[in-house]
Amino acid sequence: MITMKPTEKLTGITIKGDYHDFYDLVDSIYRITTEEEDIIDPYYGVKLMLLDCAMIFAMHLWGIEKLSL
């Protein structure tokens, strides 16, 4: 299970979960956002932001970079 908790001074959040939870989250975001890649789509910008978040999570899971949102 993925949990999110605000930081002590409320300037960010702490996200906790195991590898499989984050893997499933990234997989779900890719499935939702890659069905239709049309700039005319009113949700195109939201899809790009979700894909960016998914890439950040994936890079953290793979150990490429430290997670900081």
In the predicted model, is pLDDT for residue 68 greater than 60? no
Closest CA to 54 of 21, 29, 31: 29
Query: In one letter, which amino acid is 54?
Result: A
| pLDDT tens track for 21-45 | 888 887 887 787 766 666 777 777 8
Looking at every residue in the chain, the average pLDDT score rounds to 79
Name the most confidently modeled range: 4-8, 14-18, 59-63: 4-8
Name residue, tokens 């890659």.
34
DSSP 3-state assignment of 36?
Answer: coil
